[in-house]
Amino acid sequence: MLGLFACPKEESPKPLAPQTKPLFLLVTRVIDGDTIVLEDETQVRYIGIDTPGKGKSFYREATEMNQRLVEGKEVRLEYDVERKERTNEWKLKIFGEPRTLAYVYLGDGTFVNAWLVKYGFAKVMTVKPNVQHKDLFLELERNARENKLGLWQK
């Protein structure tokens, strides 16, 4: 007895989804060690880290290093759970509107947030729910402390 088998009908291959290039934006200004302004005027606060504020020890060094890393360069942003910072009155007076929260990457793949922690220009400051890279940042900070880098020189 011969059995009949259904042959799948030929389907034309579905076109592959177009590869979208990551969006890179130019950093036009560095506000401080952990905040930048992009070409579209978006203010971006780096997630997971904190650098010394104006008037504090190591403020100038952290700000200058951030400038050397990103100013005039194109960066790619990645987001965590919350894309905008929670605001209060003093932040609104200083920044005008809630800043965008992001992990920032250079075109060569350098993870700026992590780089600043690794070399002691920033401390870890994670705020739930944006904790995607918390363990990495804590490890980098521990190494920077042990090796007395940047902020940890004393």
Residue 106's domain is classified under what CATH number? 2.40.50.90
Any domain includes 139: yes
pLDDT band at 4 (very low <50, low <70, confident <90, very high): very low
Range of the domain at 41: 24-153
Query: What is the tally of structural domains in the chain?
Result: 1
Percent of the chain with pLDDT over 70: 79
Mean pLDDT along residues 15-26: 70
Any domain includes 77: yes
Give pTM, 2 decimals.
0.81
Asked if the model's pLDDT at residue 70 lies above 90, the reply is yes
Any domain includes 138: yes
Mean pLDDT along residues 38-64: 95
Q: Which residues contact 124 (CB under 8 A, 6 or more apart)?
A: 48, 49, 50, 117, 134, 137, 138, 141
Any domain includes 96: yes
Q: Which residue has the higher pLDDT, 92 or 43?
A: 43
Mean pLDDT along residues 92-113: 87
Mean pLDDT along residues 43-63: 95
Q: Which residue has the higher pLDDT, 1 or 37?
A: 37
pLDDT band at 16 (very low <50, low <70, confident <90, very high): low
Any domain includes 6: no
Any domain includes 79: yes
Average pLDDT over all residues of the chain: 87
Any domain includes 71: yes
pLDDT band at 133 (very low <50, low <70, confident <90, very high): very high
Name the strand (E) or helix (H) holding 27.
strand 24-32
Any domain includes 10: no
Residue 118: the pLDDT is 98
Taking each continuous run of H as one helix and of E as one strand, the counts in the chain are: 4, 7
